[in-house]
Structure 1
Amino acid sequence: MAVLEGKSVSEFEEIVSNAGSSLVVVHFWADWAQQCAQMNDVMVELAKEHLQVKFVKVEAEAVPDISERYEVAAVPTFIFIKNKQKIDRLDGAHAPELTKKVQTLASAAVLPSTTAAAAPKEDLNTRLKKLVSSAPVMLFMKGTPEAPRCGFSRKMIDLLSGQKVRFSYFNILADEEVRQGLKTFSNWPTFPQLYANGELLGGLDIIKEMAESGDLATALPKTETLEDRLKTLINKGQVTLFMKGNRQEPRCGFSKQIIGILNDTSVQYETFDILQDEEVRQGLKKFSNWPTYPQLYVKGELIGGLDIVKELKESGELESILQNGQ
């Protein structure tokens, strides 16, 4: 099933109403946020796997009435709905967690709306911990990068843009609980506030000083290239299999067959579920010049897919090749 788009309040409400008791997964996104584009790709793959679930994209800033209704103040945010009632949410770009929630909520019994409405609210401290860590660099500001709502926030955006810093943001004007709670959580009384890897760097004056001294570039997490990330992944284990699903639960017939073959050997191996990371899924095809999955690597070198592994098993060479990777 294709991912639907809620481009207006009426379109969105029609989608939710027509879903009945089926799970509706709503992705609030923005076209300027790279993480949102990646999560949109994850949604496409999940839609292929869960035909009974309705997946919907809502551009957060284009349909503010819907964003405000569900207290969406940062992107990406995912809202889960059944029987027109919100039953769960996920803040940030967490593909494995999104996949897990979809699997769990899609198969869960439908709760009466009164039960769903009475679900306990997430502890504020827990929510703040998730928010400050929801992106490598996270800015809490008044307004949005396109429309800052105070001079300090505007200057921070200009500074980060000038330093070519990639960041996500949270509009504290859209959530008074977060606005007040973060002051205590961070022990910092004003906004904007800039976090890196879940740790507070400071406000505008501090970030200005760090930029002028050159310390800002050191304090911010380095942006790892896709090629570097792929090299790290294929060398994660001496023997590494990129597949759909995992060894306990293969998600396609080819992956299931190759797991069976590897399990018949005495070799230990790592697996990576390409369904949970669209960037890796597409990037590895080009990196390895191998268009399909599964893909088996030994000591960082591509052995091949299922057909090659079958041939190696039949010839008696497979175990020797895998053992050389131990």
Structure 2
Amino acid sequence: MNNLIRATARCLRSGTAVYMPRQADGRLWSASGRRFLCSDVQKDLGEIVKKDKVVVFMKGTRAQPMCGFSNAVVQILRMHGVDDYADYNVLEDQDLRQGVKDFSNWPTIPQVYFNGEFVGGCDILLQMHQNGDLVDELKKLGIHSALLSAEKESK
């Protein structure tokens, strides 16, 4: 219930309309188990992806990924020593799950953002990791890759 109150207050403070999602037959969902959303979901997502240097929309959380692709993203970031990032569990909120797909025009989850810019999904992050581009992109964010340090130590 606290999440419902916070989300509604945030929408009202921002001056955007607040609506309650409807069921297929047009009836309103009950407040339990659902949350109010700002009508401007795209604006909300735009703000979310800019709040942190690295943002991941995933199935589950970094502590407990709920799919192999989300787990792979978590492991890649962990290998590079990226621990300070925002992770959002799209399984907890179907509106977020669909909203982020619409926002990025990318059909799959997980989705990774650097400094508010969409990077891609697991396949893109894995490719960047394999070809060394991820080290360079992290450097642009002011994040020193742990793999770069490990490489220097082995020489």
Q: Shorter-chain TM-score: what band?
A: 0.5 to 0.7
CA distance in 1, matches of 2:48, 2:94: 14
Query: Are residue 128 (structure 1) and residue 50 (structure 2) matched?
Result: no
Residues 199, 217 of structure 1: CA spacing in aligned structure 2 closer, same or farther, 3 A cutoff? Answer: same
Q: 2:131 aligns with which of 188, 195, 213?
A: 213
Runs of 4+ with >3 A deviation = none
| Residue 159 of structure 1: how far off its partner (Å) | 1.1
Give the equivalent residue in structure 1 for 2:78.
Answer: 161
| Residue 209 of structure 1: how far off its partner (Å) | 1.0
Matches within 5 A, 1:245-256: none
Query: Larger % of strand: which?
Result: 1
| Residue 181 of structure 1: how far off its partner (Å) | 1.6
| Residue 208 of structure 1: how far off its partner (Å) | 0.8
Unaligned runs of 5+ in 1: 1-65, 72-77, 81-85, 90-100, 102-118, 225-326
Query: Are residue 191 (structure 1) and residue 109 (structure 2) matched?
Result: yes
Deviations 1:233-284 (A, max 9, x none): xxxxxxxxxxxxxxxxxxxxxxxxxxxxxxxxxxxxxxxxxxxxxxxxxxxx
CA distance in 1, matches of 2:81, 2:68: 20
RMSD over aligned CA atoms reads 2.6
| Residue 79 of structure 1: how far off its partner (Å) | 3.2
| Residue 176 of structure 1: how far off its partner (Å) | 1.0
Query: Are residue 222 (structure 1) and residue 146 (structure 2) matched?
Result: no
Q: Which amino acid is the alignment partner of residue 91 of structure 2? A: L
Q: Which amino acid is the alignment partner of residue 3 of structure 2? A: Y
TM-score under structure 2 length normalisation: 0.67
Matches within 5 A, 1:169-318: 169-220=87-138, 221-223=141-143
Bigger radius of gyration: 1
Query: Are residue 137 (structure 1) and residue 90 (structure 2) matched?
Result: no
Give the equivalent residue in structure 2 for 1:315.
Answer: none
Matches within 5 A, 1:108-123: 121-123=38-40
CA distance in 1, matches of 2:68, 2:118: 21
CA distance in 2, matches of 1:176, 1:153: 17
| Residue 148 of structure 1: how far off its partner (Å) | 0.7
- If asked which structure has higher relative contact order (CA below 8 Å, sep 6+), I would say 2
Q: State the number of aligned residues.
A: 118
Residues 120, 217 of structure 1: CA spacing in aligned structure 2 closer, same or farther, 3 A cutoff? Answer: closer
CA distance in 2, matches of 1:120, 1:209: 35
CA distance in 2, matches of 1:189, 1:122: 21
